[in-house]
Amino acid sequence: MTVTDALLAPVLTSDARRPLITFYDDATGERLEFSGETLANWVAKTANFLRDECDLEVGGRVSVGLPTHWQTAVVLLGAWWCGAQVVEGAADVALADAEHLADADAGVVVGLSLDAFGRPLADLPPDAVDYASEVRMHGDHFTPEPVPGTAPALGDASVDQVVSTSLRRATELGYGARTRLLSTIDWPLDLQGGLVDGLLAVLAGGGSLVQVRHADPARLDRVAESERADVRLTVSP
């Protein structure tokens, strides 16, 4: 089983049409909402893109140079569905936004504009692939290859370790199917904090996430009320 199967399957079998990730960017005014079903379609498109267009195989290395964003969640889950190992540094495939493209060190480099309307990345290097332009052409369903639980998934952590840590933190934090988490914290690519507490444990517990980027502290109470968020993870001013 992959990390993605373990985290998404409970959500999709319980109520796939309820909101799973709601994304705000207070700097741009964006608000985007994704049901479990819609998010799974994006993850499947990404996994198909990585496997069929970027030639990513089980055990391949993927680097992710992206901010905390709904597309980052899609990229991580897509890579894990392919059985990939998410790493920092040299990789087989690197996915990065404009700010991090220059640091990408991979055989295949994929640029993400993170644009809410799916516009391509401006000034894409000639040898890079544009995510927004290519991913939409891939299928909404993905059949993963078998992946052993001992396979590395996040740095040196195995599939089993990522899943078990996510489930344990969901229990410790009290995340359940009714949890609606409002979060402004970042997702460093490790098992020590934000990525687990702010994303993976929410999925593991069957809850849903309201992620706010470039958060305006003066708006958070209003967002929490309108989104019916009952738990918060925020950065202290």
DSSP 8-state class, residue 102: G
Q: Around Cβ 171, how many Cβ atoms within 10 Å? A: 12
Average pLDDT of the segment spanning 85-106: 96
pLDDT for res 12: 85
Query: Rounded CA gap, 91 and 98, in Å?
Result: 18
Domains and CATH numbers, the chain: 3-233 (3.40.50.12780)
pLDDT for res 169: 97
pLDDT for res 237: 46
* Structure-block tokens of residue 64: 């992710």
Burial 62-79 (b: 16+ CB within 10 A, else e): bbbbbebbbbbbbbbbbb
Judge whether residue 234 has pLDDT over 90.
no
In tens, the pLDDT along 19-32 reads: 999 999 999 999 99
The fraction of the chain above a pLDDT of 90, given in percent, is 92
Alpha carbon 53 to its chain's center: 20
Contact (Cβ atoms closer than 8 angstroms) between residue 173 and residue 201: yes
Using alpha carbons only, give the angle 29, 31, 37 rounded to the nearest 5 degrees.
160
* Structure-block tokens of residue 21: 């990730």
In tens, the pLDDT along 173-225 reads: 999 999 999 999 999 999 988 999 999 999 999 999 999 999 999 999 999 99
Contact (Cβ atoms closer than 8 angstroms) between residue 67 and residue 185: no
Query: For the chain, how many helices (H) and strands (E)?
Result: 8, 12
Query: Rounded CA gap, 9 and 140, in Å?
Result: 15
In tens, the pLDDT along 126-169 reads: 999 999 999 999 999 999 999 999 999 999 999 999 999 999 99
Q: What is the pTM of this model?
A: 0.97
